[in-house]
Structure 1
Amino acid sequence: MKIVIQRVSSASVLVDGKLINSISKGLCLLIGITTDDTEKDADMIAKKVLDIKLFEDEFQKRWAKNVVENEYEILSLSQFTLHATLKGRKPDFHKSMAADLSKELYQYLLNKLRNLYSAEKIKEGVFGAYCQVNIVNDGPVTILLDSKNITNI
């Protein structure tokens, strides 16, 4: 499972021009699920996302607090293109898990985040929908995680 974590001042997702969800300060997650991902991968990703220290504390010390400690929100979006490989000039998505299976694992991950943190703080787009994502990256801070490379959870 690959995930792009962006620290944001705000983020929103629209489908067919209609606002689906939005957050103010927090994290925007772009989540790509591959054919060999399991619930164990989702468990590791959820713990890491909630624990990673990407925010300042009250003394402006950088990298001191996580999203939970600050009670910020998370906007999560599925993004199968994270596992793309190039065949010539065209992307190939054979490493991405099939939509029906990945939707189940994606929902598992979101439920894990909600259970470990707060259901009201975890927002999402529409799985598999063509959408527009507005992200105001704060910093900019962008972290790439791969569940196959996570240590120290």
Structure 2
Amino acid sequence: MRALIQRVEEARAEVDGKVVGSCGAGYLVLLGVAPTDDEALTRRLWDKVAHLRICADGDGRINRSLLDTEGEVLVVSQFTLFADARRGLRPSFTGAAEPELARHLYERFCELAEETLGSERAGRGVFGAHMQVSLVNDGPFTVLLDTDELGRGRSPR
């Protein structure tokens, strides 16, 4: 599983010109699922995202988490995080999970965000839809997390 996190002032996802999800100051999370991912990894990745200290404190130091700042999150499914363009000019997406698994784990990640932050602070895109995603990046500040780097069975923090 991969999460590309962008610290934002605001973000929104639209389908056919209609806003389907949005957030204020916090994170836009682009989430990709791999074939070997499961619910345990989904929870560990959410915990890492929620506690990741990439927000400024009162002194301007990057020392606070989404939870510390009472920030918001918008989660958008993004299978292209598993694009492989090592050979040729057309990327392969065989590293991404099949849609059924990807949808299940994406929805579970969104549910965890809603359980932690409350539904008013957690927005989501529409799995599998063609979306227009807009954001005001704060920094810019972007971090890529990969569950391969979290290690199975270890604490995410």
- Tell me what 1:81 maps to: 80
- Tell me what 1:61 maps to: 60
Cα RMSD after superposing both structures: 1.3
CA distance in 2, matches of 1:41, 1:32: 12
- Tell me what 1:90 maps to: 90
- Tell me what 1:141 maps to: 141
The 4+ residue runs of structure 1 with deviation greater than 4 A are: none
Q: Is the 8 A contact 1:50 1:66 kept in 2?
A: yes
TM-score, normalization by structure 2: 0.91
| Aligned partner of residue 107 in structure 2, secondary structure | helix
TM-score, normalization by structure 1: 0.93
Structure 1: give runs of 5+ residues left out of the alignment: none
| Aligned partner of residue 90 in structure 1, secondary structure | coil
Aligned residues: 152
Structure 2: give runs of 5+ residues left out of the alignment: none
Query: Which sits farther off after the overlay, 2-11 or 86-95?
Result: 86-95
| Aligned partner of residue 64 in structure 1, secondary structure | strand
| Aligned partner of residue 75 in structure 1, secondary structure | strand
Matched, 1:41 2:41: yes
The alpha-carbon deviation at position 78 of structure 1 amounts to 0.2
Query: Which sits farther off after the overlay, 116-125 or 130-139?
Result: 116-125
- Tell me what 2:117 maps to: 117
Deviations 1:3-55 (A, max 9, x none): 10000011111111112122221100000001111112101111001101111
Q: Is the 8 A contact 2:29 2:74 kept in 1?
A: yes
Identity of aligned residues (%): 34
| Aligned partner of residue 55 in structure 2, secondary structure | coil
Deviations 1:93-121 (A, max 9, x none): 11111112210111111112222332321
The alpha-carbon deviation at position 61 of structure 1 amounts to 3.2
